[in-house]
Chains A and B, each alone.
Chain A
Amino acid sequence: MSMRKTLIIASLLLPTQHLLFSQLANAQQSRFGEPATQKDIDKSFWSVFPDGEFLPEGEGNVATGRVLFKEQCNICHNMPGESDPVKDDIGKLFGVTDKKGKPNVEQTIGSYWPYSSTVFNYIRRAMPLLAPMSLTNSDYYSLTAYLLHENGVIPEDAVMNKDTLPKVEMPNKDGFIMAYPKVPEQYEVKR
């Protein structure tokens, strides 16, 4: 028997029903959650914040990233200088400087993304498409380094880890305006 049913039956057996219904309402708020272990959390939570919180150990560089990109990513994404139209349709990762995009798939890391942490956060959870999370944290640092380098954000010899990545300043870091809780006056639709 579920806890709720037990409570309802208990309430019917007791005389001060009015009082009991409020107690019942409180009782129903409670306590079907089980304690979450660190293992539960580690399995479920993969977010990384712009200030570097939750970035893992490990380290990567541009040269390793280039090799990994060729192996793991080039099947769907053009390398710099390539122009396979199918791969461009999937998403250009380099060589776009106009952040307006057309349509929005043509806004790249260099032209648009405001935080370096987002690059690592996204590719680690989502890429390679057919096998996300199939690489090591150092591999994902290397791929992040390569993507940032080919987008003109960091030099060829840069090393990415949990200390250096959050310090990378993105070209479009000031390109965003918070619309919560209210859209700023100048973008409101006038009637």
Chain B
Amino acid sequence: MSKDKKLPGIDTTDHVAKGGLLNRRLFLTSSIASTAALATASAAYGEDIIGEGQDDWTIYPGTDALEYSDRSRFEVENVKRFIPNFPQKFLDLRLTKYVARTPLDHLLGTITPNGLHFERSHQGIPDIDPDKHFLVIHGMVKNPLKYDIDALENYTTVSRHHYLECSGNSQVLFQETPTDQPIQQIHGLVSGTEWTGVLLSTLLDECGISPDAKWIIAEGADNGMMTRSIPIDKALDDTMIAIRQNGERIRPSQGYPMRLYTPGYEGNTSVKWLRSLYVSDRPVMSAQETAKYTDMMPDNKALQFSLEQDVKSIITRPSNTMSLKKKGLYEITGLAWSGKGKISRVEVSVDGGQTWGDAALEGPIHTKMLTRFRIPWMWEGGSAILQSRAYDEFGRIQPTRKELIDARGRNAFYHFHAVQSWGVSPNGEIKNVYA
């Protein structure tokens, strides 16, 4: 498709940055589908039965409704979470396959289907009988209380759209050489959900917390009893005891029957299978907040309790599991989020950050939630480097990889949130590159 060719209803000369980035309103006012040639079938007016040429699914009755519906069988093979192969020796030792990554390149919108939500456990997924599980709140409180799932369901719940991201997401990009792992492996430890639960402030109020309380220590009921310390300000702000994801009870892999959920904080603090909240005046210094989940800085000091996540974005389409088959009009789309608040702006560059154009943000924009952005791009067939850069409502701007590493080095391991660069070669292949 050349620049001169007219597309009906589309002004492909309205450039907003170099390299073919077009005005974001283009896709809002016209349908790209209209450029495709529609096959026109010539009607048959003979004596033939009229179903000639129809597909089986049109002329045969379909299957029965299922009590819990399945995806199309044509999706199952391609759209699935990524679980790394464990060496047999690990499996022999009964180490659990503890991580599954969301296929971001196969999803649109901002809600992750429950079966595709990323997960990370430390010693496997417990099979908890909800009738035998309760949460106890104790420590610096007037009344130590316990709550089972039926008690929690009795409260006025809140339902909020929020993302959850593992603080180890994208960590492979700290490496010196750009990885050729697909986007799902690099960035698939982030998902978006409508979480429903009871605000923790409600329960803490009921228990009567001491004015000297500074932290709460959350412990899970899983093998290994995951433990994290949460600042009391966060506990009294938007932290909830989540009991539902996208309407249904949270999945066992997400903490069934109840989990702590700390919007915008590193994922590990949203302790799953929550069983104990100890109200304290100090953090407990668990293994998961000292030995792990601490960020090594260039001076060999490690940042501890780097809880609130930074502003971040990634282009999910096109990305490195795809290739551009021919020159022409493409939509660049992706996800942006901030652990502090709402996304206010996303810019896209196709020339490696030389020039930028504003992407359209798809609303409603929720605080601490994935926000989808999109911008049209006319690819003329040359080399390109696709990047997105997000801003949040507090003026935070997503840094370049160089800026991040200049400040924090390459050993931080956690909290990689810099700009992702997808390199497009003249033959349309797309690779992860550093730019």
Contact across chains for A40 and B284 when beta carbons are under 8 A apart: no
Minimum CB–CB distance from B415 to chain A (whole Å) comes to 10
Chain B residue at minimal CB-CB distance from A34: B146
CB–CB B151/A121 < 8 A:
no
**Minimum Cβ distance to chain A for residue B295 (Å):** 8
User: Closest CB of chain B to A128's CB: distance in Å?
Assistant: 11
A114 touching B206 by the CB < 8 A rule? no
Cβ A121 vs Cβ B284 within 8 A? yes
Flag whether A16 is at the interface (Cβ < 8 A): no
Which residues on A sit within 8 Å (CB–CB) of B275? 44
What is the distance, in angstroms, from A14's C-beta to the closest C-beta of chain B?
Answer: 20
Which B394-426 residues have a C-beta within 8 angstroms of A?
A: 397, 399, 403-404, 406-408, 411, 413
Which residue of A28, A89, A125, A189 contacts B403 across the interface (Cβ within 8 Å)?
Answer: A189
- A117 cross-chain contacts in B, Cβ below 8 A: 285
- Indicate with 1 or 0, residue by residue over A41-80, a CB within 8 angstroms of chain B CB atoms: 1001111111000000000000000000000000110000
Task: Give the shortest distance, in Å, between B195 (CB) and chain A (any CB).
Answer: 20
Choose from A29, A46, A76 the contact partner of B225 (Cβ within 8 Å).
Answer: A46
A41 to B143, CA, bound (A): 12
Determine whether the beta carbon of A49 is less than 8 Å from that of B287: no
Known A-B contacts A29-B206, A36-B144, A44-B136; A86 and B89 likewise in contact (beta carbons under 8 Å): yes
B276: which of A28, A41, A112, A176 is its contact (CB, 8 Å)?
A41
Q: Answer whether residue B145 sits at the interface, using C-beta atoms and an 8 A cutoff.
A: yes
The A-contacting residues of B in range 180-216, CB under 8 angstroms, are 202-203, 205-207
Closest residue of chain A to B399 (Cβ to Cβ) is: A189
Q: How far is the CA of A178 from the CA of B90 in the complex (A)?
A: 35
Known contacts A44-B219, A113-B291, A190-B407; decide if A103 and B276 are in contact (CB<8 Å). no
The interface of chain A, by Cβ under 8 A from chain B, is: 2-4, 28-36, 40-41, 44-50, 75-76, 86, 89-90, 99-104, 107, 109, 112-115, 117-118, 121-122, 125-126, 129-130, 132, 175-181, 183, 187-191
Can you list 20 residue pairs at the A/B interface with Cβ under 8 Å? A4-B156, A28-B155, A33-B137, A36-B136, A36-B137, A44-B275, A46-B219, A76-B95, A101-B296, A101-B411, A101-B413, A112-B291, A118-B287, A122-B286, A126-B287, A129-B123, A132-B224, A176-B302, A177-B303, A181-B233
